[in-house]
Amino acid sequence: MSVRSFFASVMRAVAAALARAPRLVWDGTRFVLRAAAALVPTPPQEEALAEEELMAELNRPRQLVKADVAEVDPREEWGYAAGNHLVSCGEPTKGVLDERAMAYLDSLDIEERAALLAYEARHIGAFLLGERKLKGLPPVPTAAQWTDAEKARLAALAGPVREGRALIQAKVDEVAAVMREHGYEPVPAPRPRAA
Protein backbone atom coordinates (compact mmCIF):
# COMPACT_ATOMS: atom_id res chain seq x y z
CA MET A 1 0.00 0.00 0.00
CA SER A 2 1.37 3.22 -0.90
CA VAL A 3 1.45 6.32 1.16
CA ARG A 4 -0.88 7.93 -1.19
CA SER A 5 -3.59 5.28 -0.90
CA PHE A 6 -3.12 5.22 2.88
CA PHE A 7 -3.52 8.94 3.05
CA ALA A 8 -6.63 8.73 0.82
CA SER A 9 -8.25 6.10 3.04
CA VAL A 10 -7.58 8.17 6.15
CA MET A 11 -9.11 11.19 4.45
CA ARG A 12 -12.18 9.14 3.50
CA ALA A 13 -12.60 7.99 7.10
CA VAL A 14 -12.28 11.56 8.37
CA ALA A 15 -14.78 12.77 5.76
CA ALA A 16 -17.22 10.01 6.76
CA ALA A 17 -16.80 10.92 10.41
CA LEU A 18 -17.34 14.58 9.64
CA ALA A 19 -20.42 13.70 7.60
CA ARG A 20 -21.87 11.76 10.53
CA ALA A 21 -21.03 14.38 13.13
CA PRO A 22 -23.94 16.76 12.39
CA ARG A 23 -26.37 13.82 12.46
CA LEU A 24 -25.03 12.67 15.84
CA VAL A 25 -25.15 16.21 17.19
CA TRP A 26 -28.71 16.65 15.91
CA ASP A 27 -29.87 13.33 17.47
CA GLY A 28 -28.17 14.20 20.76
CA THR A 29 -29.76 17.63 20.81
CA ARG A 30 -33.20 16.15 20.21
CA PHE A 31 -32.69 13.66 23.04
CA VAL A 32 -31.60 16.40 25.45
CA LEU A 33 -34.55 18.63 24.47
CA ARG A 34 -37.03 15.79 24.99
CA ALA A 35 -35.59 14.98 28.39
CA ALA A 36 -35.68 18.65 29.42
CA ALA A 37 -39.25 19.05 28.15
CA ALA A 38 -40.37 16.11 30.27
CA LEU A 39 -38.97 17.77 33.39
CA VAL A 40 -40.50 21.22 32.78
CA PRO A 41 -44.32 21.32 33.14
CA THR A 42 -46.02 22.38 29.94
CA PRO A 43 -48.64 25.13 29.93
CA PRO A 44 -52.29 24.00 29.48
CA GLN A 45 -53.16 23.26 25.94
CA GLU A 46 -55.68 25.24 23.99
CA GLU A 47 -58.28 22.46 24.21
CA ALA A 48 -58.01 22.37 27.98
CA LEU A 49 -58.37 26.15 28.13
CA ALA A 50 -61.40 26.05 25.86
CA GLU A 51 -62.95 23.31 28.01
CA GLU A 52 -62.37 25.34 31.18
CA GLU A 53 -63.98 28.38 29.58
CA LEU A 54 -66.95 26.29 28.49
CA MET A 55 -67.42 24.83 31.98
CA ALA A 56 -67.21 28.31 33.50
CA GLU A 57 -69.82 29.55 31.01
CA LEU A 58 -72.13 26.62 31.75
CA ASN A 59 -71.82 27.04 35.52
CA ARG A 60 -72.51 30.77 35.40
CA PRO A 61 -75.97 31.59 36.78
CA ARG A 62 -78.34 32.63 34.05
CA GLN A 63 -81.31 34.90 33.96
CA LEU A 64 -84.15 33.22 32.16
CA VAL A 65 -85.77 35.18 29.43
CA LYS A 66 -89.46 35.51 30.08
CA ALA A 67 -91.62 34.34 27.25
CA ASP A 68 -94.54 36.40 26.08
CA VAL A 69 -97.07 33.97 27.50
CA ALA A 70 -100.23 35.25 29.09
CA GLU A 71 -100.83 33.93 32.57
CA VAL A 72 -103.69 31.50 32.90
CA ASP A 73 -106.83 32.94 34.43
CA PRO A 74 -107.94 30.92 37.51
CA ARG A 75 -111.56 31.20 36.39
CA GLU A 76 -110.65 29.55 33.11
CA GLU A 77 -108.73 26.78 34.92
CA TRP A 78 -111.77 26.15 37.12
CA GLY A 79 -113.99 26.06 34.04
CA TYR A 80 -111.80 23.53 32.25
CA ALA A 81 -111.50 21.43 35.41
CA ALA A 82 -115.31 21.49 35.82
CA GLY A 83 -115.74 20.36 32.22
CA ASN A 84 -113.26 17.53 32.76
CA HIS A 85 -115.06 16.57 35.96
CA LEU A 86 -118.47 16.47 34.29
CA VAL A 87 -117.33 14.76 31.08
CA SER A 88 -114.36 12.64 32.05
CA CYS A 89 -112.02 11.85 29.17
CA GLY A 90 -110.09 9.22 31.10
CA GLU A 91 -107.63 11.76 32.45
CA PRO A 92 -107.75 12.51 36.17
CA THR A 93 -109.07 15.95 37.01
CA LYS A 94 -106.40 18.34 38.24
CA GLY A 95 -106.54 19.41 41.87
CA VAL A 96 -108.03 22.77 40.91
CA LEU A 97 -111.59 22.21 42.09
CA ASP A 98 -112.38 22.09 45.78
CA GLU A 99 -114.79 19.61 47.38
CA ARG A 100 -117.58 22.17 47.40
CA ALA A 101 -117.41 22.66 43.62
CA MET A 102 -117.13 18.92 42.93
CA ALA A 103 -120.12 18.21 45.21
CA TYR A 104 -122.13 20.89 43.39
CA LEU A 105 -121.20 19.48 39.98
CA ASP A 106 -122.10 15.96 41.10
CA SER A 107 -125.51 17.18 42.32
CA LEU A 108 -126.50 18.53 38.88
CA ASP A 109 -128.84 16.48 36.67
CA ILE A 110 -128.18 15.83 32.97
CA GLU A 111 -130.04 18.91 31.71
CA GLU A 112 -128.27 21.21 34.17
CA ARG A 113 -124.92 19.72 33.21
CA ALA A 114 -125.65 20.32 29.53
CA ALA A 115 -126.72 23.89 30.29
CA LEU A 116 -123.53 24.48 32.27
CA LEU A 117 -121.28 23.03 29.56
CA ALA A 118 -122.87 25.34 26.98
CA TYR A 119 -120.95 28.26 28.52
CA GLU A 120 -117.30 29.13 28.00
CA ALA A 121 -114.75 27.87 30.51
CA ARG A 122 -114.09 31.32 31.98
CA HIS A 123 -117.82 31.83 32.62
CA ILE A 124 -118.15 28.38 34.24
CA GLY A 125 -115.15 29.12 36.48
CA ALA A 126 -116.53 32.51 37.50
CA PHE A 127 -119.89 30.84 38.26
CA LEU A 128 -118.26 28.17 40.46
CA LEU A 129 -116.22 30.81 42.27
CA GLY A 130 -119.41 32.75 43.02
CA GLU A 131 -118.50 35.73 40.86
CA ARG A 132 -121.22 35.26 38.25
CA LYS A 133 -124.72 33.83 37.90
CA LEU A 134 -125.70 31.60 35.01
CA LYS A 135 -129.23 31.41 33.70
CA GLY A 136 -131.14 28.21 34.37
CA LEU A 137 -128.74 26.81 36.97
CA PRO A 138 -129.15 26.57 40.74
CA PRO A 139 -126.73 28.82 42.61
CA VAL A 140 -123.47 27.37 43.86
CA PRO A 141 -123.52 27.15 47.67
CA THR A 142 -121.10 29.40 49.48
CA ALA A 143 -118.32 27.86 51.54
CA ALA A 144 -120.29 28.44 54.77
CA GLN A 145 -123.47 26.90 53.33
CA TRP A 146 -121.56 23.90 52.02
CA THR A 147 -119.77 23.42 55.37
CA ASP A 148 -123.07 23.49 57.26
CA ALA A 149 -124.63 21.00 54.83
CA GLU A 150 -121.60 18.74 55.11
CA LYS A 151 -121.77 18.82 58.92
CA ALA A 152 -125.46 17.90 58.80
CA ARG A 153 -124.74 15.05 56.35
CA LEU A 154 -121.96 13.66 58.53
CA ALA A 155 -124.11 13.98 61.67
CA ALA A 156 -126.87 12.02 59.93
CA LEU A 157 -124.35 9.31 59.05
CA ALA A 158 -123.07 9.22 62.64
CA GLY A 159 -126.56 8.47 64.08
CA PRO A 160 -126.76 4.84 62.88
CA VAL A 161 -123.17 4.28 63.97
CA ARG A 162 -123.99 5.45 67.50
CA GLU A 163 -127.07 3.21 67.57
CA GLY A 164 -124.98 0.25 66.39
CA ARG A 165 -122.38 0.85 69.08
CA ALA A 166 -125.08 1.13 71.74
CA LEU A 167 -126.61 -2.16 70.55
CA ILE A 168 -123.22 -3.90 70.68
CA GLN A 169 -122.56 -2.53 74.18
CA ALA A 170 -125.98 -3.77 75.34
CA LYS A 171 -125.14 -7.29 74.05
CA VAL A 172 -121.75 -7.21 75.81
CA ASP A 173 -123.40 -6.14 79.08
CA GLU A 174 -126.02 -8.91 78.70
CA VAL A 175 -123.33 -11.56 78.17
CA ALA A 176 -121.37 -10.24 81.17
CA ALA A 177 -124.51 -10.47 83.34
CA VAL A 178 -125.08 -14.10 82.27
CA MET A 179 -121.43 -14.92 83.05
CA ARG A 180 -121.76 -13.41 86.54
CA GLU A 181 -124.91 -15.49 87.18
CA HIS A 182 -122.90 -18.64 86.51
CA GLY A 183 -119.98 -17.58 88.70
CA TYR A 184 -117.57 -16.30 86.10
CA GLU A 185 -116.07 -12.88 86.23
CA PRO A 186 -115.88 -11.40 82.71
CA VAL A 187 -112.67 -9.78 81.54
CA PRO A 188 -113.19 -6.04 81.41
CA ALA A 189 -113.17 -4.83 77.85
CA PRO A 190 -112.57 -1.26 76.84
CA ARG A 191 -115.81 0.53 76.17
CA PRO A 192 -116.13 2.22 72.79
CA ARG A 193 -115.90 5.98 72.84
CA ALA A 194 -118.99 8.02 72.29
CA ALA A 195 -119.04 9.48 68.81
Tell me what pLDDT residue 11 has.
Answer: 92
For the chain, report the end-to-end CA distance as a whole number of angstroms: 138
Q: How many residues does the chain have?
A: 195
Mean pLDDT of the chain: 82
Tell me what pLDDT residue 192 has.
Answer: 65
Tell me what pLDDT residue 90 has.
Answer: 67
CA 78/CA 84 separation, integer angstroms: 10
- pLDDT surpasses 80 at 93: no
- pTM over 0.85? The answer is no
Whether 96 and 81 have beta carbons less than 8 Å apart is answered as yes
Looking at per-residue confidence, does 125 or 187 come out higher? 125
Whether 172 and 189 have beta carbons less than 8 Å apart is answered as yes
Looking at per-residue confidence, does 143 or 91 come out higher? 143
Q: Cα–chain-centroid distance for residue 166?
A: 49
Confidence of residue 63 (pLDDT cuts 50, 70, 90): confident
Tell me what pLDDT residue 12 has.
Answer: 92
Q: What is the mean pLDDT of residues 36-42?
A: 71
Instruction: Tell me the CB-side half-sphere exposure of residue 106, using CA atoms within 13 A.
Output: 7
Q: What is the mean pLDDT of residues 24-52?
A: 79
